[in-house]
Amino acid sequence: MKKIFCLVCCVFFVFVLHAENLLVNPEFKSSNQQTPDKWEQFQKVPCLSVFSTQDGILRISEKSPSYANMISQRINIDGTKSYYFEVEYKADALPYPAGVYYYFFDEKGTRLKEDYFALKTLGPQQDWQKITRVISIDNPVKVKGIRLSFVSYSKGENSDNAIYFRNPVLTEYKGQKIQAEAAVKSNSSDQLPDNLFTHNLTNTQSGVPYKLEKGQVGFLRFDTPKLGRRRNMRLNIQGPENMVFEAYFYKNTGLDLLTPVSNNKGNLSFDISSAYNWVSWGNMVLFTAGKDVPEKFNLQITLTAVKEKKSWSFSIPVEQIQSDRKYAVPKYYGYYSWHVFPLGRIDLKKCGPLAERLKNNWENSGWKQISFSHIARVFPTFKSHYSGGETSIPLGVNASGAPTELYCDSALLAGGTAFFIEQIKRNGKMEEIKNYTYVLWDYEPYCAGPVTISCFCDACIKNFTKDFHLPANLSGIEILQKYESQWVKFRCRQRAETVHTAVKAIKSINPNAKFMFCSMPLPPQKDDDYFRRYGIDLRLFDDFVDIHTPMNYGKSLDFYRSIEREAKELHHSRMTIISNGWGDASVMDPKRMAIQMLAAFFCDNQTPFIGQGLFIAQGDQVKAIKEMMTDVAQTEENWGQGNFDPEKIMVKAGFKAEKNLYSIDRKTKNGKKYLLLLNNDDRETIFAKICPERNKYLEVADLLYKHVIVPEKDEYILKLYPLSYRIIELSAQENRKDWKREFSKDNLADEEKAINNNEKLYRTISKNGITCRMTPDEYHVMTLSQSLIFSLKNSAQAEWKIGKKTVISSLGRDSFMPQFQLKNYPATLDACQIEPDHVKLTLSYMIDQIPYDGLIVRKSFIVYNNKPEITVDVAIIPENGFRQFRYRTTHVLAIGKELASKEDYAFRIEYQINQVKDNSGKTVSYIREGAKFPEKQPFFPKYVSEYKILIGDTFVAKDKIGAGKIILDATGVDQLFLWRIQSEATLETIYPDAYPVNDPHTVKTWEISYVLKYEDSSK
């Protein structure tokens, strides 16, 4: 009896333990030692070697071709409950974040918008650290499932640092203890890293040339958190003769100008003693190039840790850019830059001449210095944004009663001005607020989630039900089920009131202080979901905010819609914060940023902000701003006199303009009207038609080009090149005899031509027995002897057919070795020309993934009319700078596949290389003599038992049953790989590295070509 009882007890106990954790296989059992069983692997480019799982520990390496590398599981949950999550992790020092990420699903399995991090870390974390979290559901009505992912974001790192996880638990929240984690322990300060600067000294990818304005000052960043403990370093810089350098490093309270220990014709050395702090932003080497320095040159940088005898070297290509324009600075308009290192930390009375010149150049681009007191982290709103010490304000609770990361809004508001003044005092900000004209609060509670996530404590529910005359006993879940829109309104109002209270506190300390409010912009359109998501409606703040500084980041037309809406609906002045990208080359876009700034001027932002600003700007950015500012200087006397005008002149979108054209209106007291017309697209030329009311304005002129526009049937038709703008004046007849006439008729003719060319490209064309036809997803080419179907959604891969039979199912499946697949990129048809005996067409696609982002692959095909033969020219165009790559193209065979056979396809395919047949049915590979491979080994050793020598340039594959034959003629191939397994067989060619040496100066378009022929030997 006793025994049985024990057994029952044990079984029951085990059952409870297992039932608790909703995760399947939390023990990370793995049958392949790479990914844990029952968990899914997510990567844009699959690369299994990123993961390893052993002894219950999941390891995710940063060495990956994909940006996001995830191990993930989807679990059904009840949205009206809260959940508890814990996991242990440790991490190496990582250049990009890693952690735990989750989002929710609805009933239909559709992913809901919001996503959250339970952990986001850069490491290093040497000891196992347990994190404990409450998972709050922001949408109890809809949420039916969660996807939880362990993730590492990487960017093609060569090093093999990793994050490790073990023992994850996901279970219903029932008051489990949420523990604060110890601060990340950085034990690695004594270990010197391989990768010292994630910003590559230039804020662009390594190998991308630094843009230096000719005659101006450029700079290289030398801040890094990776050197840890201060140490003695030697910095050597080598450039062409006639370069001038100044080095600034941080010590005690500011930047010191260093004296070189040696300086010999462009070869300098500096000793940076352990008194200097490597973490500090502002550590920089400024440089300028003398007149006879070539347009393109290299800076060779070597840093040596003296005691440890470890060196790092960097080759920084520099490209000088110039302009033939004479720049001017506007009188009225300018811009402010948040980060202006090194200038922000250099004592300008004790600096060198280059720092002085840098300052002048920035000022000549319209840069204005404003100083303000920044009160981030002082008031308890969002836990991880608060560092103001112990507080009486309780944390909020979510709709099902579990604690959240936000403080209770009602309690904060109830604290009144006294509480806010006390917080200012405690954080030592009294003097600062008294002394500054401007005080800025960066208020971002929405970072924790939408307003439906918190707080539903008794006080918050009481305030809400009182405001909306609802029964006082509603629960959080009931509120979200029945009164969500009222709740959103309530929270938006309450947050505005809270900020108002803080403003009263600030003004009681300094009545003259101007309050700047940094938060979300007005939504581009009327959008309730936006207020639910952000809980910030700037209109509710307008009465007490002196200057709105909304963070309006984005590339689309929504940027303009928001600033225009703010100009229309807010009364207080605005200094919109325009993003200019942080760290990542792909988001930097100098011309667009200048246009956004100009649009802000048109919407009465006299001095917009740029976010990270001049600290990360290269010469191209400053040049783009200077050019725009010069346009402003030349025209501000006209349009600057007026105000933003919400009454819009009708501007019709012409060809390609629908999604790219924007117009903003201004008006002066004397009745003149101004239009800023802009093309937001970086590739298309667009057309716009200004349609003013008949007879209201007698003259329409372009103030920048000094053109008087001549209408065509009451429409003023204009052409706008990619990322360009025009400033148009509508007025009574002016005396502009010497201005050029721009005829709408001519622009209309250009537009018609563009439309015709476009139609020609896209319509079905038939000639000489050849037909070309486009569908949304494909491009079909049919000749008398063969046809090809190109995928426009998948990198122009093609299916090759002879008659009705497919002979190659995937022609031209590209990749870069070792494992970067060029698939699923949208392809465009650039040209198609039918000749009597062939059709020639060109398709291209652009790679948008790091590290190859910006490379364009262009393929031209000659498809013959009377013979089953195709010539393919492949060109890879190095947009966005130098990147080394090694091209491989794969053709998947389908000859004879329609024929039934008992034999595996692999055994039916016979290869013939240099007259020698191979019928082994196995994967084989051939290597060119003298070919150079990374790590001195040809590719795919796992699949090949023996490499043969590659002789000749003709490679044949034949189906022994159907007797169809594919002949590939290709020169310059280093390795031929013939994959043959079960039902698959391929012809794959691997080429040498595109550039013989890793020197950015050798960058040029890389080209190869090959010919494919089909023969039927049974006939």
Judged by CB under 5 A, the stretch of 18-26, 98-106, 408-416, 443-451 that binds Zn ion is 408-416
The distance of closest approach from Cβ of residue 588 to Zn ion in the complex, given in angstroms and rounded to an integer, is 42
The distance of closest approach from Cβ of residue 408 to Zn ion in the complex, given in angstroms and rounded to an integer, is 3
The distance of closest approach from Cβ of residue 551 to Zn ion in the complex, given in angstroms and rounded to an integer, is 26
The distance of closest approach from Cβ of residue 444 to Zn ion in the complex, given in angstroms and rounded to an integer, is 19
Judged by CB under 5 A, the stretch of 79-87, 319-327, 453-461, 992-1000 that binds Zn ion is 453-461
- Is-contact 636 330, C-beta < 8 A? yes
Residue 136 touching Zn ion (CB under 5 A): no
Residue 199 or 495 having the CB closest to Zn ion: 495
- Mapping DSSP to helix (H, G, I), strand (E, B) and coil, where does residue 146 land? strand
Judged by CB under 5 A, the stretch of 248-256, 406-414, 490-498, 630-638 that binds Zn ion is 406-414
CA distance 432 to 308: 43
The distance of closest approach from Cβ of residue 139 to Zn ion in the complex, given in angstroms and rounded to an integer, is 19
- Is-contact 434 509, C-beta < 8 A? yes
Tokens 């638990």 belong to 169
Q: Supply the DSSP symbol for 893.
A: E
Residue 438 or 468 having the CB closest to Zn ion: 468
Judged by CB under 5 A, the stretch of 452-460, 678-686, 887-895, 932-940 that binds Zn ion is 452-460
User: Count of residues for the chain?
Assistant: 1019
CA distance 499 to 495: 6
Q: Could you say which of 220, 285, 408, 727 contacts Zn ion (CB under 5 A)?
A: 408
Task: Write out the DSSP string of 36-102.
Answer: -TT-EEEESS--GGGEEEETTEEEEES--SSSEEEEEEEEE--TTS-EEEEEEEEE---SS-EEEEE
Residue 412 touching Zn ion (CB under 5 A): no
Query: Which whole-number Å values give the CA distances from 148 to 52, 494, 592, 692, in the listed order?
Result: 18, 33, 37, 55
Residue 337 or 410 having the CB closest to Zn ion: 410
Residue 457 or 545 having the CB closest to Zn ion: 457
The distance of closest approach from Cβ of residue 190 to Zn ion in the complex, given in angstroms and rounded to an integer, is 46
Residue 358 or 408 having the CB closest to Zn ion: 408
Residue 196 or 399 having the CB closest to Zn ion: 399
The distance of closest approach from Cβ of residue 396 to Zn ion in the complex, given in angstroms and rounded to an integer, is 5
Q: What binding mask, one character per residue, do residues 762-781 give for Zn ion by CB under 5 A, x or -?
A: --------------------
Q: Looking at beta carbons, which pairs linking 588-591 to residues 24 or more positions away fall under 8 Å?
A: 588/203, 588/204, 588/616, 588/621, 589/555, 589/682, 590/620, 590/621, 590/623, 590/624, 590/625, 591/624, 591/682, 591/723
The distance of closest approach from Cβ of residue 404 to Zn ion in the complex, given in angstroms and rounded to an integer, is 10
Residue 460 touching Zn ion (CB under 5 A): yes
Torsion of CA 620, 623, 624, 627, to 10 degrees: -160
883 token code pair: 């990147």
Residue 243 or 455 having the CB closest to Zn ion: 455
Q: What binding mask, one character per residue, do residues 7-26 give for Zn ion by CB under 5 A, x or -?
A: --------------------
Residue 784, amino acid:
L
Residue 82 or 238 having the CB closest to Zn ion: 82
The distance of closest approach from Cβ of residue 457 to Zn ion in the complex, given in angstroms and rounded to an integer, is 3
Tokens 């605005």 belong to 574
The distance of closest approach from Cβ of residue 85 to Zn ion in the complex, given in angstroms and rounded to an integer, is 23
The distance of closest approach from Cβ of residue 505 to Zn ion in the complex, given in angstroms and rounded to an integer, is 21
Q: At what angle do helices 458-467 and 484-509 cross, to 10 degrees?
A: 100
Parallel/antiparallel/unpaired status of strands 707-710 and 740-743: parallel
Residue 456 or 725 having the CB closest to Zn ion: 456
Judged by CB under 5 A, the stretch of 451-459, 462-470, 510-518, 925-933 that binds Zn ion is 451-459
Contact partners, residue 747, CB within 8 Å, separation at least 6: 687, 717, 718, 719
Residue 455 touching Zn ion (CB under 5 A): yes
Name the nearest CA neighbour of 495 among 523, 454, 527.
454
Judged by CB under 5 A, the stretch of 152-160, 336-344, 364-372, 449-457 that binds Zn ion is 449-457
The distance of closest approach from Cβ of residue 464 to Zn ion in the complex, given in angstroms and rounded to an integer, is 10
Judged by CB under 5 A, the stretch of 40-48, 402-410, 479-487, 589-597 that binds Zn ion is 402-410
Residue 382 or 947 having the CB closest to Zn ion: 382
The distance of closest approach from Cβ of residue 405 to Zn ion in the complex, given in angstroms and rounded to an integer, is 13
Judged by CB under 5 A, the stretch of 334-342, 405-413, 439-447, 851-859 that binds Zn ion is 405-413
Q: Could you say which of 70, 220, 272, 457 contacts Zn ion (CB under 5 A)?
A: 457
Residue 283 or 410 having the CB closest to Zn ion: 410
Q: Could you say which of 280, 410, 605, 809 contacts Zn ion (CB under 5 A)?
A: 410
Helix or strand run (H / E) with residue 942: none
Residue 106 or 484 having the CB closest to Zn ion: 484
Residue 134 or 678 having the CB closest to Zn ion: 134
The distance of closest approach from Cβ of residue 492 to Zn ion in the complex, given in angstroms and rounded to an integer, is 15
Residue 782 touching Zn ion (CB under 5 A): no
Parallel/antiparallel/unpaired status of strands 577-578 and 609-610: parallel
Name the nearest CA neighbour of 587 among 611, 607, 619, 562.
611
Q: What binding mask, one character per residue, do residues 871-910 give for Zn ion by CB under 5 A, x or -?
A: ----------------------------------------
CA distance 220 to 212: 11
Residue 255, amino acid:
L
Adjacency order of strands within the sheet including 573-574: 372-374, 438-442, 514-518, 547-548, 573-574
Residue 409 or 537 having the CB closest to Zn ion: 409
Name the nearest CA neighbour of 680 among 790, 811, 528, 559.
559
Judged by CB under 5 A, the stretch of 322-330, 424-432, 447-455, 524-532 that binds Zn ion is 447-455
Tokens 């490499």 belong to 947
Residue 923, amino acid:
T
CA distance 845 to 854: 10
Q: At what angle do helices 484-509 and 416-426 cross, to 10 degrees?
A: 60
Residue 336 or 407 having the CB closest to Zn ion: 407
52 token code pair: 């390893």
> How many H-runs (helices) and E-runs (strands) does the chain carry?
14, 63
Give the total of residues touching Zn ion (CB under 5 A): 5
Segment 662 to 721, residues that bind Zn ion, using CB under 5 A: none
Nearest-5° Cα angle at 957, 952 to 958: 135
Residue 138 or 645 having the CB closest to Zn ion: 138
Judged by CB under 5 A, the stretch of 4-12, 198-206, 400-408, 909-917 that binds Zn ion is 400-408
Residue 77 or 461 having the CB closest to Zn ion: 461
The distance of closest approach from Cβ of residue 455 to Zn ion in the complex, given in angstroms and rounded to an integer, is 3
CA distance 925 to 114: 48
The distance of closest approach from Cβ of residue 442 to Zn ion in the complex, given in angstroms and rounded to an integer, is 22
Q: Is the dihedral of CA 272, 275, 280, 283 positive or negative?
A: negative
The distance of closest approach from Cβ of residue 591 to Zn ion in the complex, given in angstroms and rounded to an integer, is 47
- Is-contact 573 600, C-beta < 8 A? no
Residue 315 or 475 having the CB closest to Zn ion: 475
Rule CB under 5 A: which residues touch Zn ion? 408, 410, 455, 457, 460
